[in-house]
């Protein structure tokens, strides 16, 4: 991961597009993060073994896209459980997909990432990124004890580097880390989150 440009500093968002895999966002907003997050990603990468890099898969997420994901999740729960009212479906959907008003990615302070080799080969981490607890039998939980020794070692390398740079991890997703959002404020005991909902890198 390279340093960021003067143009990035002027915009208030850093472009990590060169590191990111394609995502469901035609505007390319997924490849941006807050400047302070970019600085900390650079710092975290310096703490990885020299043969490794951080592969940033998703940073900022448009609120409209987050709403789409959440609405889909609510609809899926309602279809699977016809007896549930809308409130119950909303609560259950929120366990796996955040409503846009509180979602970490819409702040630009959260990133989904994984370690990879210099050539871009991803390391074994125990599950695929974005695996849900039911799909993975909870192996997506960062501290899950039943993964291989190699996957545990790789998660520990990633976690040590990111924690040392000021990030916090969502414990149900080994790949999800944040700085400055609401969850970060809760975990660190900060009185306020540094970042709320963003309208995108151009704003």
Strand pairing class (110-117; 52-58): antiparallel
pLDDT at 97: 87
pLDDT at 199: 72
Query: What is the residue-wise DSSP string for 106-170?
Result: GGT-EEEEEEEETT-PBPP-SS-TT--HHHHTTTTSTT-TTS-HHHHHHHHHHHHHHHHTT-EE-
Measured CA to CA, the distance from residue 143 to residue 155 in angstroms comes to 9
CA dihedral 37, 62, 158, 4 (to 10 degrees): -40
Residue 37 dihedral angles phi and psi, to the nearest 5°: -70, -45
Measured CA to CA, the distance from residue 11 to residue 16 in angstroms comes to 14
Measured CA to CA, the distance from residue 99 to residue 113 in angstroms comes to 21
pLDDT at 23: 42
The Cβ of residue 9 has, within 10 Å, a number of other Cβ atoms equal to: 12
pLDDT at 13: 53
Residue 201 dihedral angles phi and psi, to the nearest 5°: -65, -20
pLDDT at 198: 81
Mean pLDDT, 10 residues at a time, over the chain (203 residues)?
Answer: 44 45 50 93 96 94 90 93 94 88 91 95 96 94 98 99 98 97 96 87 51
């Amino acid at each position: 991961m390279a340093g960021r440009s003067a143009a990035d500093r002027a915009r208030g968002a850093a472009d990590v597009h060169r590191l990111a895999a394609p995502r469901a966002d035609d505007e390319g907003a997924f490849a941006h993060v807050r400047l302070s997050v970019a600085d900390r990603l650079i710092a975290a990468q310096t703490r990885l073994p020299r043969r490794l890099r951080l592969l940033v898969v998703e940073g900022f997420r448009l609120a409209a896209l987050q709403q789409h994901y959440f609405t889909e999740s609510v609809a899926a729960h309602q279809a699977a459980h016809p007896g549930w009212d809308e409130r119950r479906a909303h609560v259950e959907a929120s366990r796996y997909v955040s409503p846009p008003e509180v979602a970490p990615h819409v702040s630009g302070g959260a990133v989904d990432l994984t370690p990879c080799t210099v050539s871009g080969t991803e390391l074994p981490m125990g599950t695929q990124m974005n695996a849900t607890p039911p799909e993975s039998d909870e192996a997506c939980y960062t501290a899950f004890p039943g993964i291989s020794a190699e996957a545990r070692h790789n998660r520990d390398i990633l976690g040590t580097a990111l924690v040392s740079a000021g990030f916090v991890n969502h414990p149900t997703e080994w790949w999800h880390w944040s700085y400055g959002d609401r969850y970060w404020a809760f975990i660190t005991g900060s009185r306020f989150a540094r970042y709320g909902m963003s309208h995108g890198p151009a704003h």
